[in-house]
């Protein structure tokens, strides 16, 4: 019984760590999506790109890279950020659009 436990315990710990990492990654993706929506609304109101990036960073909880496009009707914001912790090799991305001109 002890030998089986010694063999199975590392596998159980690895699965639990993987599940925890997936939950943290999903939570960070949701924060990034919220930040992209807030940045798009700020850009749609006519705020500067630096102000929108500050809003996005505050909502997302970390350093983000903001890209934006404006086609006259819609302003779209795209945020990119590395995942936190051991999953830093994964780049997260979220986009959102808002009406231009504050309409």
Per-residue pLDDT of the chain (103 residues; tens, 9 = 90+): 788 888 888 989 999 988 988 898 999 999 999 999 999 999 999 899 999 999 999 998 888 899 999 988 999 999 999 887 777 788 999 999 999 886 5
Please answer whether residues 98 and 89 qualify as being in contact, where contact means their C-beta atoms are separated by less than 8 angstroms. Answer: no
pLDDT at position 18, please?
Answer: 87
Per-residue confidence (pLDDT) for residue 55, from 0 to 100 = 93
pLDDT of residue 102: 67
- 36: nearest Cα among 100, 101, 99, 98: 98
**Two structure tokens written together for 92:** 């997260």
């Amino acid at each position: 019984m002890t030998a089986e436990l010694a063999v199975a315990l590392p596998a159980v710990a690895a699965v639990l760590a993987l599940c925890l990492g997936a939950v943290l990654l999903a939570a960070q993706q949701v924060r990034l999506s919220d930040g992209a929506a807030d940045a798009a609304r700020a850009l749609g109101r006519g705020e500067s790109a630096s102000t929108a990036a500050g809003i996005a960073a505050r909502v997302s909880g970390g350093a983000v890279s903001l890209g934006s496009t404006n086609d006259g009707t819609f302003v779209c914001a795209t945020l990119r950020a590395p995942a936190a912790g051991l999953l830093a090799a994964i780049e997260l991305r979220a986009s959102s659009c808002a009406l231009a001109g504050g309409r």
